[in-house]
Structure 1
């Protein structure tokens, strides 16, 4: 669905301008196997307790970063159909640039979060941050290469479209911020209370 709100596939853009177009966790600790009061008390004493208000605040920011990225992309407008190779190059370059900008905003939102309340949240945070950063780097590099190429360099345009597809695959592998924290009872509860964790906003659109 990314930029399907923007509607036009990169492959379709390329098809109009030249030959050979490219159709564009951590689980809870197990219960002690012994009934020793000393062991149970010791384990309890070292089990971290997360305040629910802190967890809700963190989940609100985490979901907001992910859903903000989705909203930014679904709001992108449909590019015009190119009439020349130069126009096709400019349109593809703009799509790559806009996508990179949206990913950068999401990365900035994630890095502005306070430390995750528990290990599950930390893993989820690092996973989303890593995927967004990798996807952003792919499209930034592709745009730089495309911008250097001649307007009639259709191979460069094809490579740019392939990079966009690869970036989207990374993003679509981490769509749901709630699924990422389900093994944490505290964060699962917090997600039900966090305003930004509405399931309605989890799914971005795709440039096919």
Structure 2
């Protein structure tokens, strides 16, 4: 196993490329600490929602970009460090879901389904990560440890496949709102060096 499997580099690069499509920050908007929308987006409910949405998913993006290293030097170290990594993933998802709950459904018709689907995906991946973490913590014997480590890698791959921008891509109006929201500008991640 490689520390922080290469899937995370692909995830951060993919997020950087996807979010770069949000466009440049329009004149007259300035990001504020804590993802607070500026006064221009306060009068724009869709941009205000997009700002809160991006601020919520930005927490998970930062969590995934800063995951603890996996130490493959021994099965015990790999188990312990994989458990710590999965715990970080669970915490990141929990905080992101909490932020999305505070934001609520989008203010546009036909846009709530993507948010609901994303929350369902987060819940599924979170449960899986927590279950595998518990299995890692209680694994005894080489076979159980090997199986749990394999499941940990599969779970990490599932996390990497999460489309955190799904809620913004639900409708053209929300995509445009994302371009006007200062919180979405904070999601722009430079591509990882190749």
**TM-score interval, normalised by the smaller of the two chains:** 0.5 to 0.7
Gapped regions of structure 2 (runs ≥ 5) = 7-41
Q: Say how many residue pairs are matched.
A: 155
CA deviation after TM superposition for structure 1 residue 117, in Å: 0.4
Q: 1:160 to 1:73 in 2, by over 3 A?
A: closer
Tell me, in whole angstroms, the C-alpha distance in 2 between the residues paired with 1:111 and 1:91: 30
Aligned to 2:182: 195
Higher Cα Rg: structure 1 or 2? Answer: 1
CA deviation after TM superposition for structure 1 residue 143, in Å: 0.9
Aligned to 2:5: 9
The alignment partner of 2:182 has SS state of coil
CA displacement 1:69-123 (0-9 Å, x = unmatched): 11222123434x3433211210111111111111111111111113320233312
- TM-score w.r.t. the length of structure 1 is 0.62
Aligned to 2:156: 164
- TM-score w.r.t. the length of structure 2 is 0.66
Instruction: Kindly indicate whether the alpha-carbon contact (under 8 Å) linking 1:86 and 1:151 is maintained by their aligned counterparts in 2.
Output: no
1:147 to 137, 145, 159: 137
Tell me, in whole angstroms, the C-alpha distance in 1 between the residues paired with 2:159 and 2:181: 29
Instruction: Kindly indicate whether the alpha-carbon contact (under 8 Å) linking 2:63 and 2:88 is maintained by their aligned counterparts in 1.
Output: no
Aligned to 1:124: 114
Tell me, in whole angstroms, the C-alpha distance in 2 between the residues paired with 1:204 and 1:151: 40
CA deviation after TM superposition for structure 1 residue 202, in Å: 6.6
The two structures, once aligned, show a CA RMSD in angstroms of 3.1
1:70 to 61, 74, 79: 61
Aligned to 1:83: 73
Instruction: Kindly indicate whether the alpha-carbon contact (under 8 Å) linking 2:56 and 2:99 is maintained by their aligned counterparts in 1.
Output: yes
2:179 matched to 1:183? no
Instruction: Kindly indicate whether the alpha-carbon contact (under 8 Å) linking 1:60 and 1:197 is maintained by their aligned counterparts in 2.
Output: yes
Gapped regions of structure 1 (runs ≥ 5) = 11-50
CA displacement 1:16-66 (0-9 Å, x = unmatched): xxxxxxxxxxxxxxxxxxxxxxxxxxxxxxxxxxx9622221111112112
Aligned to 1:57: 48
